[in-house]
Amino acid sequence: MLAKQNSIRSSLRSTLLFAGLGIAFVGAGCASAQQQLERGEELYGFCAQCHGPEAHGIRDVDAPGLTNLDGWYLERQLEEFSAAMRGRPDRDVHESPMIFVARAYDDPEAVADLVAFIDSLPGYSPARTVMGNASAGRQLYSACDSCHGASAEGDVRLRAPALAGLDDWHLVAELREFTTGDRGTHQGDMYGQQMVPVSRVLTDEQAIFDIVAYINTLR
């Protein structure tokens, strides 16, 4: 697996220049929705190496599915990766390559095209891989529902993404990062900072498994 991850990271580095140049010549100005999707599809070809041709993710390289994520949230994550608010190179070997990828797409029009294409792809039903006590997780989730919704459907007004229907293994990884301080401690990450005190209800790994097991029942 490590060899595969190293190979993908090497591929990312070698194609960053190409991606940056591709973004530079993508048509400027107003365009039809079809043209936007065509540009987005071209740009997504770079992302497909890790996230799969249909953006349903590739677990072997810890790349989550993207089609079940809110479009506005995808845009925000690209911005946060570009600003190095996520993906600490000193600790996170899985997310740190995204810093360089996001900077290659550091153009508002390109990001909008890319996200529009991902939004156009069909959703999927992730496999349930996390084993936990959903009843205990339900109690823990009471600290989350005021922002993420009673059914984990998210709330765009609060900029809280939907959680139901996402890859459960990825939810575990993200919650773990909030509890360890690997995410949500950057001074510019306002929304991540809001998650830090909430994540304190997750006092151990079992609590993380339990809350994700409960979220799995809501999709």
Decide if pLDDT at 25 tops 80: no
Q: State residue 187's pLDDT score.
A: 87
The pLDDT tens digits for 115-139 are 999 999 999 999 999 999 999 999 9
The pLDDT tens digits for 148-171 are 999 999 999 999 999 999 999 999
In the chain, which residue ranges form alpha helices assigned H by DSSP? Answer: 2-25, 33-51, 71-82, 97-104, 108-120, 134-141, 145-148, 168-180, 190-199, 205-216
For residue 105, what pLDDT band results from cuts at 50, 70 and 90? Answer: confident
The pLDDT tens digits for 178-219 are 999 889 888 889 999 999 999 999 999 999 999 999 999 997
Q: State residue 86's pLDDT score.
A: 86
Q: Domains in the chain, start-ordered, CATH in brackets?
A: 2-120 (1.10.760.10), 134-216 (1.10.760.10)
Query: What is the average pLDDT score of the chain?
Result: 86
The pLDDT tens digits for 48-71 are 999 999 999 999 999 999 999 999
